[in-house]
Amino acid sequence: MNREIEKPPRPASKQDRPISIWSWVGSVLGAYGLIVLGLGVYYVFRPETETATARYNPSLWWGALMVVAAAAFLAIGRRERRTQHQGSTAGSEGSEERPSA
């Protein structure tokens, strides 16, 4: 007789939880923003071509804007993960039935 014993489900660890879309977008946007911001700083000191918008240095401003937006996305993702974690632990504490007096 070969019976398989059913194992109880284990609690979800940090590795088991999928990454939030907010965190994913924030990290990708932050990576691109840092690249664009770095190029903007580079072009401040070594301008290569004279274009119509060169005096405004759009890569510097857009890079900074992308980094700020990435920080906002990461903050939302962190808040979402924290509220999900608090909701899952709060529901398991009071789930036992208590005898009535």
What is the band of 83 on the pLDDT scale with cuts at 50, 70, 90?
A: confident
- Higher-confidence residue of 57 and 66: namely 66
Measured distance CA(39)–CA(94) in Å, rounded:
54
Query: Buried b vs exposed e over 64-84: b needs ≥16 C-beta within 10 Å?
Result: eebbeebeebbebbeeebeee
User: Which sequence spans correspond to the domains of the chain?
Assistant: 21-84
- Higher-confidence residue of 41 and 53: namely 41
Distant-in-sequence, close-in-space partners of 71: CB < 8 Å, separation ≥ 6: 26, 30
